[in-house]
Every structure is written in structure tokens, then in C-alpha cells.
Copies of this chain bind each other. A is one copy, B any other.
Amino acid sequence: MNQLHNIILPEPTLRRLPWYLAYVEILRNKRVRHVSSTRISKALSVDASQIAKDLSFLGVKGRTRIGYEVDDLAHALSEFLGFSRSHKAYVIGTGSLGKALIRDSGLSNYGLEITAGFDVRPDVIARADLGVPIRHIDEIYAAMRDDPAEIGILTVPPEVAQESADIAIGAGIRAIWNFTPYRVKVAEGIVMANTSIYAHLALIFTRLASTGRQ
């Protein structure tokens, strides 16, 4: 499995793989044994040849007229996407969204283990009862020694987003998952993912406004 990770997959492929996994998991729960790319194609409206190509990146091949083994495919996808292995993460900024993510136990099913939260406001820290320690941001260096994390989940106010990311990276964090609307910049070699909740909200609001007037 491991050498496959040296291939940097194109992002559109990476975006489709979790769709396949979600669909294959549903089939598995229904005790379906085999699935063809044509069937996946119909369910997800993705071209069947694209599916075969995407899955070939994983080294998974379907058999003529039988298709893919559902169990094998689910296993390969989950392994490849990193969902089967635990990855430690800190939440930076324990305001409303940060707390919500700490409370969302569903993320641990996908391999994300939040082990601590950090904030600058002692009142937030004192109030919190979230099942993980909430510490002052200055303690992130000590935390990285005692119980290091790979991922910093950034849920601070936008005006301190860049500075907070810099602190986390300075302490040894290797990936930033940015939930702020601020466009954080990181050095090469640091993994960066933006989950633009506010951009998606804006997309919904503006599309609603335009369809409403037709």
C-alpha cells in the first residue's frame, strides 16, 4: 500500500474516492458482494471509465463480468484515503466552531483524533468541558513534546488566522485544516486544506437569490 502514497493523486480523483467509498459501504451493509463500475457510475453519475481509472490508482482492478469485490474495494479505499489509521489533531481556536468540531465524534470514524484544543482566551478555556484538554496557545510547544499532533484544525477569528497557523507550524504541526474565511499562507512542505464553509454559504445564498427571482 505504502508506495502508492508517493504518487500525488490529482485533486479531482481524491475528491471522488470518498464518494466511491460511501457508496461501496452502503452496498457492503446490504451484503452485496460484487459491484461493476457501470453500477457505481449510475449511482453517482460519474463516467464508468473515469471510475476504473480512479480505482486503478489504488491498484484495484475489477474482473470482467463480475466487477469489483465490494469488501476488497471498501478496504482498499479506506486504507488509501487514510481513514483506517488514527491521525492526531489539535483544534486551534475553541470558539463556537472549534468546540463543535471537538464534539463531533463522527470524525474519529474517519481517522481524525482530536487530542487537545488551544485558545488565547482563558474564559473560553475555563468554560469548556469537551472531553479533551483545552490549553493556552502558548502551551502548544509543550503539548507537541508530550502528545504530538500532525494536524492543526484552524478555527480562530480571521484576523489571527495567519499568526495562529504560523505558531502551530512553528511548534511542529505539519498540516493545517483551515476553516476560517482567511486565506492562510504556509511554507512548502506544509499540507494545507481549506474547508470554505462561508464560501459554500455564499454559494447557496446567491444561487437561492437568483433562482427565487426567475
Binding site for B on A (CB under 8 A): 2, 5-9, 11, 14-15, 17-19, 21-23, 25-26, 29, 44-46, 80-83, 85, 87, 95-97, 99-101, 103-107, 110-112, 150-151, 158-159, 174-175, 177, 180-183, 185, 189, 191, 193-213
Contact = CB atoms under 8 A, between A and B. Distances in A.
Given A193-B204, A206-B80, A104 B97 contact: yes
28 contacts: A5-B213, A9-B206, A11-B203, A14-B199, A14-B202, A19-B183, A22-B158, A22-B180, A23-B182, A23-B183, A26-B158, A29-B159, A45-B185, A46-B183, A81-B205, A81-B206, A82-B201, A82-B202, A82-B204, A83-B201, A87-B204, A87-B205, A87-B208, A96-B106, A100-B101, A111-B201, A174-B208, A195-B197
Closest 4 CB pairs of A and B: A82-B205, A100-B100, A22-B181, A81-B202
A134 to B, nearest CB: 16
A78 to B, nearest CB: 10
B181 A208 contact: no
A99 B104 CA distance: 8
Contacts of A182: 19, 22-23, 26
Nearest to A209: B5
Contacts of A82: 201-202, 204-206, 208-209
B103 A99 contact: yes
A85 to B, nearest CB: 8
Given A45-B183, A96-B106, A103-B99, A83 B202 contact: yes
A208 B175 contact: yes
Q: Which residue, A177, A183, A196, has most C-beta atoms of chain B within 10 A? A: A183
Nearest to A99: B103
Contact of A106 (B23, B95, B191): B95
